[in-house]
Structure 1
């Protein structure tokens, strides 16, 4: 099989970066995007095998130019995410929620449209959702709607774009920079509390989720599905 090309949008940290590293280790040429120059510059030193691009996934002109420059993509992974969205519905900041949709949902649509003309006929699109779309945790109605909107695209896109495959991965609690807003002591205490509740008895690493993302991206028999990798969080009360 000839060498494959992957594009990981939001590939400069967390699950996106772990996925990019995994696909690159398996022999793919991997392009990553991010909006921050400092992070891309740092990765040029630590991960010279990854091809970094400074691009805004919500900007159709930038993403179209990037896809044109790459020339052809086999596996598109959309790991763009934001840090906003949670909150009790009674006082949920709707301006903040709109920003959350702008940071995650619209970049998914923009990037799919931009890359689609350059996607291989036997290629794949993998979206990143989250457990909030499938659980009933108090204080997550806004972010649940956001991740639910991402998941709702999977089946119609899989039917519309076939034989291109479309899937999503739905993680639960994952130790990534998404939690960087919490003081380190508070984060450790919360993770320990959650580990006692989760059936797998630990909080997932980005690498664990990346293994599922890589599987959905590369396995030629998977399409139209949302793969839950939440450590059993959906089986226990978390609220």
Structure 2
């Protein structure tokens, strides 16, 4: 089989980077897009086989330029995220929430539009939502709306773009840099509390979720599906 080519947008850290590494282990040619030049420079040292591109997923011209430089893309994987969005609705900064929508939801759609002309006819698109889209955790109405919007496009796009496959992955609690703003002691305490409540008894690693992302991207019989890689978080009450 000819070598496959993957583009991971948001692939310089966390789940995106873990996904890129897993695809590389499969013999895939892997391109990663990130906004932070420092992270891209670090990847050039730690993961020299990954091909880095500096671009913003919400910048159509930049993503178009990356896709044109790559040529044909077999697997487009979008793992854009951001730290903005959480907060109680009574005091939620709606300007901040709009920025969060721009970064994740509009970033996903912009990337899809820009890369679509370069996708292989038997290719795939995989999006990253989150468990907040279907749980009732206080203080998450904003990010729940963002992730629900991302996951809501999976089924209609799978029908519209067929035979290109479109899937999503919905992580739960994952130990990634997303939590870096929380002091280490507070983060460890929260993770321990959450792990005790989760059916799996543990907080996921980025690589746990990356395994599901790779499955969604590469399995030729999956489309229109959101894989819940959440450790059972949707089955219990987390606070």
TM-score category of the 2 structures, normalised to the smaller one: over 0.9
Could you tell me which residue of structure 2 aligns to residue 141 of structure 1?
Answer: 141
Deviations 1:102-154 (A, max 9, x none): 11011111110111000000000000000000111111111100000001100
Could you tell me which residue of structure 1 aligns to residue 212 of structure 2?
Answer: 212
In angstroms, what is the RMSD of aligned CA positions?
Answer: 0.5
- The DSSP-based 3-state class of the residue aligned with 1:23 is helix
Could you tell me which residue of structure 2 aligns to residue 201 of structure 1?
Answer: 201
Q: What TM-score do the two structures reach when normalised by structure 2?
A: 0.99
Could you tell me which residue of structure 1 aligns to residue 10 of structure 2?
Answer: 10
In structure 2, runs of 5+ residues without a counterpart are none
- Paired residues in the alignment total 239
Q: State the distance in 1 between where 2:70 and 2:171 align.
A: 29
- The DSSP-based 3-state class of the residue aligned with 2:43 is helix
Could you tell me which residue of structure 2 aligns to residue 35 of structure 1?
Answer: 35
Q: 1:65-214, aligned counterparts within 5 Å?
A: 65-214=65-214
Q: State the distance in 1 between where 2:234 and 2:62 align.
A: 38
Moved more, 106-115 or 157-166: 106-115
Q: State the distance in 1 between where 2:197 and 2:107 align.
A: 34
Q: State the distance in 2 between where 1:141 and 1:107 align.
A: 20
Q: CA deviation at 1:228?
A: 0.3
Deviations 1:162-214 (A, max 9, x none): 00000000000000000000111111111001010000000000000000000
Q: State the distance in 1 between where 2:69 and 2:228 align.
A: 34
Q: State the distance in 2 between where 1:180 and 1:15 align.
A: 14
Q: What TM-score do the two structures reach when normalised by structure 1?
A: 0.99
Deviations 1:12-63 (A, max 9, x none): 0000000000000110000000011111000000000100000111111111
Q: State the distance in 2 between where 1:18 and 1:238 align.
A: 25
Could you tell me which residue of structure 2 aligns to residue 233 of structure 1?
Answer: 233
